[in-house]
Every structure is written in structure tokens, then in C-alpha cells.
Amino acid sequence: MSNIIQDIKLRDWEEEYININPLQTGGRTYPETRKAIISYIDGYSTCDWCKGALGITDKPPIREFLDEVSKFLGMDYTMLTNGCREAKFAVLHALTNPGDSVVIDGNKHYTTYVAAERARVRIYEVPSNGYPEYRIKPEDYVTVIENVKKETRLLPKLVFLTHVDGNYGNLVDAEKVAEICKEYNVPFLLNTAYSSGRMPVNGKKIGADFIACSGHKSWAAGGGNIGLLSVSEQWKDKAIEYSKKYKVKPIEIIGCSSRGSSTLALMASFPHVKERVKYWDKEVENSRWLMKELEAIGINQLGVKPTEHDLNFVESEKLFKISETHKKKHFYLYYELKDRGIVGIKAGLTKNFKFSTYGKTKEQIKHISWAFKDIVEKFAK
């Protein structure tokens, strides 16, 4: 690493390609976002007019922004976190003690599990129904909560649901899970990493106590670390504890979380985000259209059908077979797609992979469909 600057290749995936990496489609910045990031690019730039804590800063209008987010999500109080995983851990850490139990779903993101390990709690899992649907059934939460009661003689301290999971793009009926949690009187955290910011999410309507959001995954907030934790009035005091000595500093974000351009990025993208969730139906329509086209050529969607999300997981014996004869072996799909202007499917995968069509135009969706067809026509025996 004699010269690390030269080693950093400039990244051109957004500018030069149609990027369908599920991690990245919903985080893509708008021109205003880039402008805000560049303007606040230096360290601690949110602190020019510090009032003691990030969340109560008025210049730039962070406090007002967080109030608007609360309204947007149908929640009562919102704080900035370093990301969605950090929001989940904040609640876990605030509400549990080591040895307590929590319930998570089988389609959880790995960070839900690791955050729970970090909190040193016992993890109970609501399984999906497995291949090919991987459906999470809300009623199974009853079984698992009852199991926790039986085994520990206590209720779980926190129940998680992945609203839309990052593997299959399955959308779960969160209201039903919330109802079950209400019946047991246990707090309910909805992980909206792949839902809020893309589709309408209303915590009050759902009955969520906590909503964790991913700025980089679904709120067009770019690559600084940024997330949101929205809380209901009922749980606010229990979850948002302040330092005894530094009274304005929330303990679970160690005072201030995202003290720089990532906060500004989230703010600058917010007007777009508020607008774009109105067109969620169009996203689902595009996604369904593409899945239908791909199924016709032997690339089959897993997960609940028809898809209800822009993120989908497919399996294809046909694409896998091609890797046995293509000179680039199992890397062929990555290169063939790249040659056709498409990136974002993990290099090396051919039989099972996931991708997202979020934010793509109908023309781009058609191009993706064409690219897969062209590859199959050219190489399948």
C-alpha cells in the first residue's frame, strides 16, 4: 500500500451502469443530496451551531426534520442513529438485560441477530415456511412467544419483525404481528430497512412501538452512515434515556450519532423520499412485469408470489448450466451483464441471486429483461 490513493479506483457504478444491487438502489443520492454532502463534507459540520446535542440542532434544521420524519412515519419521536443496525441495538440495549429473551423472524437481516448477540440476550426465532416461499406467518409469533413463556417463565422483552426482508423481498403483515404483541403487552420493533423510504409505512396504523430505518438502504441518503429510530410515546421514556451528567445527551447514541454530512444527506433527500413513496405501486408493477418476463426464460422467483417488492431472489438451473461451458465459468453472468450495462448481481453467482429494480424506469426494466434473454439465447445449450 505504498500509494493507497492510486489503489482506490474511482467508483462508476451509478454513473456508467444500471445498478441493481439491492443494497444500493434505494440509497442512491439525488443531485440536491450530493450538493448537501459536498457542502457539509468536513468533520463535525453539523456542530457549527451546536445547542448541546445533534437532535436539537436548529441550524441546519435537524430538530424540525426529525419532527417531520415522526409525522411521516406515524410515530411520536425520532432520533438519528449511525444506521439501521445501530437503531436496533439501541432499543435492544435500552430494554433488555443480558439473559433476557427476544423474538426475531427467520428472515431477519444478520444484523438483527448480531445486535441481539451483542446485547447478550436469548434469541427465539419465528421460522419461515422455507423453500420456495420463505413466508413469515404472523400467527407463528403466538407459538414462539408461548414457547418463550414456557421455557423462561417470562415474556420476551422485545419482538422484532423484518417488514420486508433483504433476501426474498417478502412483505409481512406487520399489523397482525403488532396485534399479537399488544395482546402479550410486549414492545414491537419493526425493521423497515427495505420498506420505509421506499413504500408508505405508518407506525400508528401498524401499531409499532419502534421503527428502525436505513438511510443508506432506502432513504436515498448516500454512503455516510445514517439511520433513524422512531419511537412511540408509550416507549419513549423507557428507550430514550439521557445521561445523568450531560442532561441533553441520549445515552444510546452516546450523545450525538451522525455528526456530519450523512445527516444533511438524509435531510436533503427527504422531500424526494416523501414524494417517491406515493409511487410505490409503480415499483411493484415494474418488478412483477420483470419477474414474469424472467420466469418465461427459466429464471424463477422465490419468495411470496406475485412479488410485492422491488427486491427479488431468483433461482435458475438454466443460468447455472451455462457456467459449465462458458469460458468465464461461474463469473460469466457478472461479466455478460456488465457488457450489457448492468451491475449489482454478486460476481460468481449464477444459480441463485438477488437484485432490485428500485427507481428504475420502465425502459431500464425492459433493458434488464432483454439482457437476461440475450444471455440465455446466446449461451444456453
Measured CA to CA in angstroms, residue 372 lies from 14, 338, 358, 365 at distances of 20, 11, 18, 11
Distance CA 224, CA 38 (A): 12
Nearer to a copy of itself, 38 or 56 (CB): 38
- The yes or no reply on residue 5 touching a copy of itself (CB under 8 A) is yes
Distance CA 327, CA 369 (A): 23
- Helices and strands: H and E segment counts in the chain: 16, 12
- Shortest distance in whole angstroms from residue 51 CB to a copy of itself: 11
- The yes or no reply on residue 321 touching a copy of itself (CB under 8 A) is no
Which stretches of the chain are DSSP H helices?
4-7, 13-16, 31-39, 62-73, 84-95, 110-118, 140-152, 174-184, 203-206, 215-218, 233-239, 261-276, 280-295, 317-323, 332-339, 362-379
Nearer to a copy of itself, 35 or 340 (CB): 35
- The yes or no reply on residue 244 touching a copy of itself (CB under 8 A) is yes
Which part of the chain contacts a copy of itself (CB under 8 A), choosing from 28-36, 153-161, 350-358, 371-379?
Answer: 28-36
Which part of the chain contacts a copy of itself (CB under 8 A), choosing from 89-97, 168-176, 281-289, 307-315?
Answer: 89-97
Which part of the chain contacts a copy of itself (CB under 8 A), choosing from 126-134, 154-162, 240-248, 301-309?
Answer: 240-248
- The yes or no reply on residue 153 touching a copy of itself (CB under 8 A) is no
Distance CA 341, CA 371 (A): 9
Distance CA 261, CA 125 (A): 37
- The yes or no reply on residue 50 touching a copy of itself (CB under 8 A) is yes
Residues 96-115, one symbol each (x = binds a copy of itself by CB under 8 A, - = not), give -xx-----------xx-xxx
Residue with the three cell numbers 415494474: 286
- Shortest distance in whole angstroms from residue 153 CB to a copy of itself: 22
Residues 269-308, one symbol each (x = binds a copy of itself by CB under 8 A, - = not), give -xx-------------------------------------
- Shortest distance in whole angstroms from residue 208 CB to a copy of itself: 21
Instruction: Choose which of 16, 43, 139, 329 interacts with a copy of itself (CB under 8 A).
Output: 43
- The yes or no reply on residue 34 touching a copy of itself (CB under 8 A) is yes
Pairing mode, if any, of strands 210-214 and 227-231?
antiparallel
Surface-to-core class of residue 141, CB atoms within 10 Å of its CB (0-12 exposed, 13-18 middle, 19+ buried): buried
Q: Are 233 and 255 in contact (CB under 8 A)?
A: no
372, three cell numbers: 437476461
Contact set for a copy of itself, span 169-228 (CB under 8 A):
215-217, 221-225
- The yes or no reply on residue 166 touching a copy of itself (CB under 8 A) is no
- Shortest distance in whole angstroms from residue 231 CB to a copy of itself: 17
- The yes or no reply on residue 28 touching a copy of itself (CB under 8 A) is yes
Q: How many CA atoms lie within 13 A of 174 on its CB side?
A: 28
Dihedrals phi, psi of 266, to nearest 5 degrees: -60, -40
Contact set for a copy of itself, span 68-87 (CB under 8 A):
68, 82-83, 85-86
